[in-house]
Amino acid sequence: MLTIAVPKGRIFEEALPLLARAGIVPDESPSATRKLIIGTSMPDLRIVVVRASDVPTYVQYGAADLGVTGADTLMEHGGAGLYQPVDLAIGQCRLCVAAPAGFDYRDAVRRGARLRVATKYVETARGFFARKGVHVDLIKLYGSMELAPLAGLADAIVDLVSSGATLKANGLVEVEEIVAISSRLVVNQTSFKTRRERLAPLVATIRDAVAQAQSMNGVTHA
Ligand code: PRP
């Protein structure tokens, strides 16, 4: 039996058509069931539904052979024990620094001010600001990052931005893009070696499904 770990919500919804192209259709919709293990149309493949930030951990320890997870989550996890063979081109957004519209972030950085930055992505933010030589105190939050500057908890945030609507609704502006984000297929490195005969074709099928979806959307890659 192969196990694929997928987070509930937006990434799962976007992954469904890709998985279907690869011949994997869940027996039940994760949004309609409380079950955390769901069978699929592929008799030897099951889905486990986990929290987005837990996908790399399940795959790293081999509790799942494969997983679908955002590059943001992977960066924060560090990627130990994982192969990242396919960019699924779903869940596209960007990881950004954002601050209140009235806060002169660039000037504060120029002056060498010490900034308080709230984020779920502490490790990624630490690396980013260290490379730039910006002094920061990082405050770990688990959600609603946009509230932190409004409530006086932080000068700025590091968070995902997609449409920009959440920033706008809270009077924040994007001041710097850290990295473009999309979801990746990850594979346990040991599984990939020991179950190569089964996993390599499956990964190839998923890669083909992504290419097909992109050509239908008019996107081509060199
Ligand atoms: C993400 C992110 C932002 C929002 C950005 O949160 O943390 O809050 O989406 O999207 P937008 O630019 O289109 O407004 P999500 O809804 O995934 O929930 P989370 O706070 O649990 O991460």
Q: Report which of 93, 99, 102 is spatially closest to residue 167, judged by C-alpha positions.
A: 99
Supply the DSSP symbol for 34.
-
**For residue 219, pLDDT beyond 90:** no
**For residue 54, pLDDT beyond 60:** yes
Q: What is the pLDDT of residues 162-213, one digit of tens each?
A: 999 999 999 999 999 999 999 999 999 999 999 999 999 999 999 999 999 9
Q: How confident is the model at residue 221 (pLDDT cuts 50, 70, 90)?
A: low
Q: Which protein residue has the closest C-alpha to ligand 1 atom 19?
A: 143
What SS3 class is residue 211? helix
Distance 71 CA to ligand 1 centre (A): 15
**For residue 57, pLDDT beyond 60:** yes
Q: Which protein residue has the closest C-alpha to ligand 1 atom 18?
A: 143
User: How many Å apart are CA 38 and CA 96, to the nearest integer?
Assistant: 35
Question: CATH second-level architecture of 93-181?
Answer: 3-Layer(aba) Sandwich (3.40)
Within 10 Å of residue 28's Cβ, how many Cβ atoms? 12
Distance 93 CA to ligand 1 centre (A): 10
Contact 126, 105 (CB under 8 A): no
**Sign of the C-alpha dihedral, residues 4, 7, 9, 11?**
negative
Distance 50 CA to ligand 1 centre (A): 18
Supply the DSSP symbol for 87.
E
What number does CATH give the domain 2-91+182-216?
3.40.190.10
Q: Which of 72, 119, 159 is the pocket-test mutation for ligand 1 (most atoms within 8 Å of CB)?
A: 159
What SS3 class is residue 216? helix
Domain boundaries, the chain: 2-91+182-216, 93-181
pLDDT given for residue 110 in this prediction: 95
Q: What is the pLDDT of residues 108-154, one digit of tens each?
A: 999 999 999 999 999 999 999 999 999 999 999 999 999 999 999 99
Chain mean pLDDT for the chain: 96
